[in-house]
Structure 1
Amino acid sequence: MSERREHVPEYRWALPSVLLGDGADGRPVRRSTRDWIVDIAMFLTACLLALLTATELDGEPRGLVLTEQVTGVLSCAAVWLRRRWPVALALVSTVMASYLEMAGGASVVGLFTVAVHRPFKISGPVAAVNLVTLVPYGVLRPDPELGAGGMFVLGVAIVATVFAWGIVVRARRQLVWSLRQRAVIAAEDAKRLERERIAREMHDVLAHRISMLSLHAGALEFRPDAPAEDIARAAGAIRDNAHLALQDLREVIGVLRHSSSAGDDGPVPDPPQPTLADLRALVEECRQAGMKVSYTTRLEGGTPAEGDVPRGLGRTAYRVVQEALTNARKHAPDAPVTVTVSGGPGEGLTVEVRNPRWAHHGRRIPGAGAGLIGLTERVELAGGTFGYGPRSDGDFWLRAWLPWSP
């Protein structure tokens, strides 16, 4: 999974600003119903705090009271801009609150907004500015009952509580967003793996059928003087394999369409899958196409029948033999092929295919090695081992071992 994760776009791992309520590049974001409720609550909170402090202005000079009232109204109205300019609102209101009491409500809302909407490297200094401005406020306008020290302690408690609350809200939003993104990525990974599985099935099935078509067509091309019966038999084989290829392709495309439209409604049904018992039919089909194939099974451990092999295990073994025979037809069509399947419960199932590396002077069927790569992935996913390559005796050897639980 770590290798696949590298292909995920990087923007998924960055917390988008729109999640926190402010637009990118300073652009405003259209508020949702929830945003309107929160903004109204913040506005009312700022107004309530401003009204509570207004009761303490009795006995103050008329000019100061007027200044307090105007500042309180403007600062409360500025709360509506907190999503667009949270830092500016917090700093301006905090500086004003260092002397003016009615700006304190907007200052508290601004600090909370910055703690929610900005990372700690920005919100931390803003909180520090709030703490610093408590000193001139306590000195210039001390409370008769609490005094300068009591006012400072109370202010520190309020700043710490509001700031901590904002940090908790931000952390929760980040967690929820992260879980949602992980769910999206997991769903996309599942879709990609499903497409890879379907592509592997298409390759395994169609490569076999098309190689059979090429083999029969090559026989007709290089033996135009063959008896009419042989020509009719080859043409019939071409027709049958073309029909089977179209049928297999229709089934796989049907599964692909179902996987694209089903969503989370349920598991995607698999097309009919072969088992180990179908190997004999595969070998016989290749023999009828002119290949020289010998097939030997040595199943032990109280399970002598091919039909008793677990379906998943038999399907993987079938695909290994199918791809090996397809490659033999591509690269050494006239060479004899030996297929051996052995093993048992607890011991594991071993599939071995060998054929001489004969030179082929005709037109070679193109191949990119995707089949062997797909087989390696398929066998490793099943918990087995897979190897192939030329041997010193001149044969090409392919071997797969698959675990078989007793």
Structure 2
Amino acid sequence: MDLRREARNRAADVAVTAVAAGLGLIMLQAALETYPATQRTEIARDLPIGALACTVLLLFRRRWPVRVALLLSVMETLASSAMGASAMALFTLAVHRSWRTTAGIAALDAARVLVVFRLAPMQTDREYVEGVTVVLLSYTVIISVGMLIRSRRQLIESLTERARQAEEGQRLRVEEARLLERERLAREMHDVLAHRISLLAVHAGALEFRPDAPLDQRRAAGIIRKSAYEAMEDLREVIGVLRDDAAEAEPERPQPTLTDLPALVEESRRAGARVVLECLVPDPAAVPARIGRHAYRIVQEGLTNARKHAPGARVLVTVDSPAAAGLTIEIVNPLPPGFVPLGLPGAGAGLVGLGERVGMVGGTLEHGRTGDDRWRLRASLPLPG
């Protein structure tokens, strides 16, 4: 990238210098035609100064644009062929420096032009006015073009920076969505594991204090009960850092399973959504709670997306467990007219969380536009054999 930019800069330098040389030759020719034969500019003295001016412009215009503009303004008074280099130095100044700096040096150059043209052997006042007007208008056009190029570059840099910030913001939002979903999963795991470990401790305690149980079994049950209690304490300590102790923190509640899907759909219907649920699973209660909980969250996110991006559309939710295919969840809704996926910042954060959730159990997640102008979210979750 740096080599390419360097090559572009060199090519621009050569082009600017070529334009300066051409303008210098034109000005020299005009001077030779204007002045009487006895007062013609000496070409042998003029051309070397013009060549030196073009060389200075080529080598140093980017490094020291202000100094080069001032130096070439002085050289312009010594040779007509250096006027092109002086004009392109003002162009470079307008591209690389602020308008205040450019305006100040341009004003000095304009004053120099007025003085030099007044001292030159012009034949009439009209020729003086015409000559000054042409030169000053030329300088104005050149400086205006340079300032337009500067403004365009600043605009491109601003848009590039905004795009970079938008991409960085999107990356941070996606990362935040992943972290939030992992925290949510950790809380759910805490609730489930706490319930199971507490059951283990209760049964172990009952066996420990059973009078007719052998002594070695009661001792083993006591060890199991103590270990379960310690595991509960360790679990609270590790997972507790993910819980918010503020007053607005959500209270613990039973985690949803596949049997809670009808209630979720009914809640969406009461909110005004047109949802149809087709649950083809023979026995939803037999689905493991862990898989059912993930299926519930997938349907919940799918209904939220449909309500957000296609309000009022008919949403079809299909849950099935075909043989050897695990549990499949599909949410389909028609796209609204004129729908265009713009990829706005923040879009898709919920899908990122679903990807984390599905990947944790070894499932697959698909989402996107179908060929018949519908949006489909499909997840496949493996069931234990």
What TM-score results when the alignment is normalised by the length of structure 2? 0.52
Tell me what 2:112 maps to.
Answer: 133
State the shift of 1:39 in Å.
Answer: 1.1
Instruction: Tell me: CA distance 1:226–1:296, structure 2 relative to 1, closer, same or farther (3 Å).
Output: farther
Amino acid at match of 2:22: L
1:223-270 CA distance string (max 9 Å, x none): 7533399979x98xx9xxx9xxxxxxxxxxxxxxxxxxxxxxxxxxxx
Tell me what 1:97 maps to.
Answer: 76
Tell me what 1:366 maps to.
Answer: none
State the shift of 1:135 in Å.
Answer: 0.9
Contact 1:138 1:149 in 2 (8 A): no
1:122-178 CA distance string (max 9 Å, x none): 212122122211111211225447522222111211111111111111111112222
Contact 2:73 2:86 in 1 (8 A): yes
State the shift of 1:96 in Å.
Answer: 2.8
Identity of aligned residues (%): 25
1:180-220 CA distance string (max 9 Å, x none): 22222222211111111111111111221134334544565
State the shift of 1:77 in Å.
Answer: 0.5
Amino acid at match of 1:195: E
The alignment status of 1:193 with 2:167, answered yes or no, reads: no
Q: Which of 275, 291, 300 is equivalent to 1:315?
A: 300
Instruction: Tell me: CA distance 1:85–1:213, structure 2 relative to 1, closer, same or farther (3 Å).
Output: same
Contact 2:95 2:146 in 1 (8 A): yes
Aligned pairs, number: 245
Contact 1:279 1:318 in 2 (8 A): no
Q: Which of 256, 279, 288 is equivalent to 1:279?
A: 256
Q: Which of 7, 10, 15 is equivalent to 1:41?
A: 15
The alignment status of 1:164 with 2:138, answered yes or no, reads: no
Whole-angstrom CA distance in 2 between matches of 1:168 and 1:30: 23
Structure 1 unmatched ranges of 5 or more: 1-18, 20-28, 243-277, 284-294, 320-344, 347-377, 383-406
Contact 2:21 2:84 in 1 (8 A): yes
Alignment of 1:251-400 (within 5 A): 279-281=256-258, 299=267, 301=270, 307=277, 315=300
Amino acid at match of 1:176: I
Name which one, 1 or 2, has greater alpha-carbon Rg.
Answer: 2
Contact 1:134 1:152 in 2 (8 A): yes
The alignment status of 1:53 with 2:27, answered yes or no, reads: yes
Amino acid at match of 1:134: V
Contact 2:61 2:68 in 1 (8 A): yes
Whole-angstrom CA distance in 2 between matches of 1:90 and 1:65: 23
Tell me what 1:72 maps to.
Answer: 50
Structure 2 counterpart SS, 1:193: helix
Whole-angstrom CA distance in 2 between matches of 1:209 and 1:109: 71
State the shift of 1:33 in Å.
Answer: 2.5
Bigger relative contact order, structure 1 or 2 (CA pairs below 8 A, ≥6 apart): 2
Whole-angstrom CA distance in 1 between matches of 2:265 and 2:173: 33
Structure 1 counterpart SS, 2:206: coil
Instruction: Tell me: CA distance 1:184–1:160, structure 2 relative to 1, closer, same or farther (3 Å).
Output: same
The alignment status of 1:123 with 2:102, answered yes or no, reads: yes
Whole-angstrom CA distance in 2 between matches of 1:162 and 1:30: 27
Instruction: Tell me: CA distance 1:44–1:296, structure 2 relative to 1, closer, same or farther (3 Å).
Output: closer
Whole-angstrom CA distance in 2 between matches of 1:305 and 1:30: 56
What TM-score results when the alignment is normalised by the length of structure 1? 0.49
Tell me what 2:330 maps to.
Answer: none
Instruction: Tell me: CA distance 1:168–1:312, structure 2 relative to 1, closer, same or farther (3 Å).
Output: farther
Whole-angstrom CA distance in 1 between matches of 2:187 and 2:76: 77
The alignment status of 1:179 with 2:159, answered yes or no, reads: yes
Whole-angstrom CA distance in 2 between matches of 1:161 and 1:110: 13
Contact 1:49 1:104 in 2 (8 A): yes
Instruction: Tell me: CA distance 1:303–1:196, structure 2 relative to 1, closer, same or farther (3 Å).
Output: closer
Contact 1:99 1:136 in 2 (8 A): no
Structure 1 counterpart SS, 2:62: coil
State the shift of 1:66 in Å.
Answer: 4.5
State the shift of 1:312 in Å.
Answer: 8.5
